[in-house]
Amino acid sequence: MEVVSRGTERGRVHHGIKILRWRIQIEGVVQGVGFRPFVSRLANLLHLGGWIQNVTSGVRVEIQGQKEDLAKFVAAVKHKAPTLARVLNMQVHEILPSVSKHSKRFDILSSESVSGRTLVSPDVAVCPDCLAELFNSADHRFRYPFVNCTNCGPRFTIVQGVPYDRPKTTMASFAMCPVCETEYGDPNNRRYHAQPVACATCGPQISFSNVLDGRGPLGEAALQEAVSQINSGRILAVRGLGGFHICCLATDDTAVKRLRASKLRPSKPLALMVRSVEDAYAIADLTEMEARVLSEVEAPIVLLRKKDKKLPDVISPQNAYVGMMLPYTPLHHLLLDAVQAPLVMTSGNLSGAPLCMDNEDAIQTLGNFVDGFLLHNRPIERRCDDSVVAVREIDNKEQVQVVRRSRGFVPLPLMLPESIRLEKSILATGADLKNVSAIGIDQQVFLSTHIGDLSHPLARKEQARAVEDLEKLFVVQAECVVCDLHPSYASTQFAHAVAKKRGIPLLRVQHHHAHIGSCMIDSGCYNEPVVGIAFDGTGYGTDGQIWGGEFMWCHLDRFERCFHLEYLPLPGGDAAIQKPYRIALAYLMALMPECNVFEYFSDVPEEEIDVIAQMISKKINTPMTSSAGRLFDAVGTLLGLGKVSNHEGQIAMALEAAALLWDQDVTPYPFVIEGRQIRLGKLFENLLQDIQAGKSTPYMARRFHTTLAQIACETARLVCGKYGSSRVALSGGVWQNRLLLDMTTGRLNQYNFEILVHHSVPTNDGGIALGQVAVAAAMMKERQDVFGHPGKA
């Protein structure tokens, strides 16, 4: 908070008491969260006069009274604001007191548009007060699926502009009835200026639509029809806050298998929605912190350790964890209360395409594989998928790590340090998998919602729309662009197109440098260089090869690649990722040329094996890779955990699940650090010996995890020994592996390293955009000419 006094105090004396007047400008999440009525009640409590007003940049307050009361007022605003409010900046200026006869009254004025930007609250779960009304038969909003107040409900997905007032939301077309209008206008009511406020008389309604004829019941009858269909084993599309879910009974094996077949999602884990924390305990092992996180206002999907035999295997096959969330809208609560069983609630989209948002789009897109639609008529302004988090033990304490940052978190900003405050606004276009884009302004970085894989043309359109939306919402147009180093990434091509069209400069940041930079900002340790261990699947290197098992000496503005996993061939490039048996074949051919590969791949046609050998020897479409993710694929395939991959990380997750079945200590496989490479020949030689000796898959999977943790620790010690640092930053999608993270941090702790991990942004590519902004900002501070010419790197 900054308090600015203009000269000497300019108060006036009234009945022997000196009266002052302060003008206060407050920035942060202060609109649509009950902030103005809170301030009004506070002013009345302290017997202060004045007014409060929404403006584009936040709220403006003028407050008048005795100095000690004004000081109490400012302190309470900063420290006792409503739960959903976030006060980021407060400036106080002293002005001349009012002599009006109304100077002791405190008013809430109409909103005013002035220059500046305001923060918008994320969508949050329905609050306990509204939930009580939902199930109270005597209440005006009994069983109304859109009950909300200033403490809960939609924000980000309905706002169309700022200041955040009803005419600038998708609720503008719903005229309030007298009851709602009275509540909306009463500063002492918790629905005061709750922009989505409505009831069954005047607000949005739900409807059920059959796939065959498009007709169905409305209101309560629609809900009952949906419940009946779900209980009968049908698959429904359910419209929520930021788009559609596809829903069926989680306990109905046939329904889940049909959903998988229809959505072309044969093995990727499906998220569940359960009625309560108690229901979650019945099917998963929860810690106290995991139970708390499930119940928080963000209501994310939480990755929980499965209990044996409590769920059909088809929900989360070859995976130790299941994603679970609680109901977060009134409609969800009504559904779960009626069904009394866990529901599959997976994203309502075609594979690779963005989330369906509009009723017509969903009916056209999903109509071929769902049996009905539970719809509503409240317009959704922008897509927003469910967030995913995990609770992990790091440094002997449980910590929450965001795996996918979207609903409940977006569009709250992440903060850059003062040392790299941005002089120009930056657009970061992220990576091609798990894409998230970002706008950096001053010290704030605004991340988009989760967009996903940019291989789908509709996803690329969604990225462009999301960037345009961020710029509009936060009243900015990027003055420079930063992207990944990979020349073929769609995100890179988008960045080039934006830079060329606008005539603004472009910077390309190496993928793993962005990973470690993101971790440094996320963990709050950015002033000193760190040892960065970046383990992931794919990242374009400065030498044109595919990196992914990197040990780096990282400053925010520069890095040195110190060590990496051995370069091995990747026949077919990215295409090999879908057929990991090709990766395993290539690794054996490269590391053990005398090995009889037919012994391990008897089901692969001899002609295909010959083609792979030719590709490797002649270097035809076979880049070299140091990827830790591809190493998981090769080892998992050799252990019989799958020869094809239907979704990202499938083999790696199966390998972790297998390793968790072995609970005894094992010795690591041998490896050799030679020059700057970690040689893997001995690892594979000993792995094959274990296979031939008939060792169990869990035992070998555990040995592999132990080996990779040992590689990470030993190599980090070498880098730290050279540079004298004790900080190690872990970033990249492979660190989502909870077992590997536990093993590695345990070893690093033995040597008293300070371990930096992600918390607020994903360690996977969903955190890349933050790193791109941070690295670009640091480079701009050091070198003014760091950006290339418009449209050129």
- pLDDT band, residue 216 (cuts 50/70/90): confident
Helix (H) or strand (E) holding 322: strand 321-325
pLDDT digits (tens, 9 = 90+) for 349-401: 988 899 999 999 999 999 998 999 999 999 999 999 999 999 998 877 899 99
In the predicted model, what is the mean pLDDT of residues 46-69? 91
- pLDDT band, residue 9 (cuts 50/70/90): low
What SS3 string covers 705-730?
A: HHHHHHHHHHHHHHHHHHHCCCEEEE
DSSP-based three-state secondary structure for 346: strand
Give the DSSP per-residue string, 516-551.
HHHHHHHHT--SS-EEEEEEEEEEE-TTSSEEEEEE
In the predicted model, what is the mean pLDDT of residues 680-700? 97
Confirm if 97 and 9 have CB atoms less than 8 A apart: no
CA dist 393 and 391 (Å) reads 7
Confirm if 755 and 735 have CB atoms less than 8 A apart: no
CA dist 317 and 269 (Å) reads 7
In the predicted model, what is the mean pLDDT of residues 612-638? 96
In this structure, what is the dihedral angle of CA atoms 780, 786, 787, 793, given to the nearest 10 degrees? -140
CA dist 644 and 641 (Å) reads 9
Residues recorded for the chain: 793
Query: What's the whole-model pTM score?
Result: 0.92
| 784, pLDDT greater than 70 | no
DSSP-based three-state secondary structure for 98: coil
Which letter does DSSP use for residue 268 in this model?
S
In the predicted model, what is the mean pLDDT of residues 448-466? 96
CA dist 625 and 339 (Å) reads 49
Alpha helices for 510-660 (secondary structure H): 511-523, 580-591, 606-618, 628-638, 650-659
Amino acid making up residue 429: T
Q: Any residues with CB less than 8 A from the CB of 673 and at least 6 apart, and which?
A: 563, 679, 714, 715, 718
pLDDT at site 8: 45
For tokens 């054996």, what's the residue? Answer: 588
Strand-strand pairing, 301-306 and 236-239: unpaired
Most confident of the ranges 103-112, 226-235, 596-605: 226-235
Residue 651 CA, chain-centre distance (Å), reads 23
| 310, pLDDT greater than 90 | no
pLDDT at site 789: 58
DSSP-based three-state secondary structure for 55: strand
% of the chain surpassing 70 pLDDT: 95
In the predicted model, what is the mean pLDDT of residues 475-480? 94
In the predicted model, what is the mean pLDDT of residues 676-687? 98
In the predicted model, what is the mean pLDDT of residues 666-679? 97
pLDDT digits (tens, 9 = 90+) for 581-600: 999 999 999 999 999 999 89
CA dist 409 and 447 (Å) reads 10
In the predicted model, what is the mean pLDDT of residues 57-64? 91
| 3, pLDDT greater than 50 | no
Q: Which residue has the higher pLDDT, 418 or 531?
A: 531
Backbone angles phi, psi at 180, to 5 degrees: -65, -40
The mean pLDDT value of the chain amounts to 93
| 116, pLDDT greater than 80 | no
- pLDDT band, residue 13 (cuts 50/70/90): low
Find the radius of gyration of the CA atoms of the chain. Answer: 28
Confirm if 349 and 286 have CB atoms less than 8 A apart: no
In the predicted model, what is the mean pLDDT of residues 764-768? 98
Cis status, amide bond into 163, omega within 30 of 0: yes
pLDDT at site 728: 97
Confirm if 728 and 689 have CB atoms less than 8 A apart: no
Cis status, amide bond into 411, omega within 30 of 0: yes
pLDDT at site 33: 86
In the predicted model, what is the mean pLDDT of residues 408-415? 94
In the predicted model, what is the mean pLDDT of residues 303-317? 90
Q: Any residues with CB less than 8 A from the CB of 141 and at least 6 apart, and which?
A: 130, 133, 134, 147, 199, 200
pLDDT at site 31: 85
Longest dimension (CA), the chain: 101
| 632, pLDDT greater than 60 | yes
pLDDT digits (tens, 9 = 90+) for 541-596: 999 999 999 999 999 999 999 999 999 999 999 889 999 999 999 999 999 999 99
- pLDDT band, residue 793 (cuts 50/70/90): very low
pLDDT at site 649: 94
% of the chain surpassing 90 pLDDT: 81
Among 111-120, 299-308, 610-619, the least confident range: 111-120
* Ramachandran class of 82: left when φ > 0, alpha when ψ lies in -120 to 50, beta otherwise: beta
pLDDT digits (tens, 9 = 90+) for 491-540: 999 999 999 999 999 999 999 999 999 999 999 998 899 999 999 999 99
pLDDT at site 352: 86
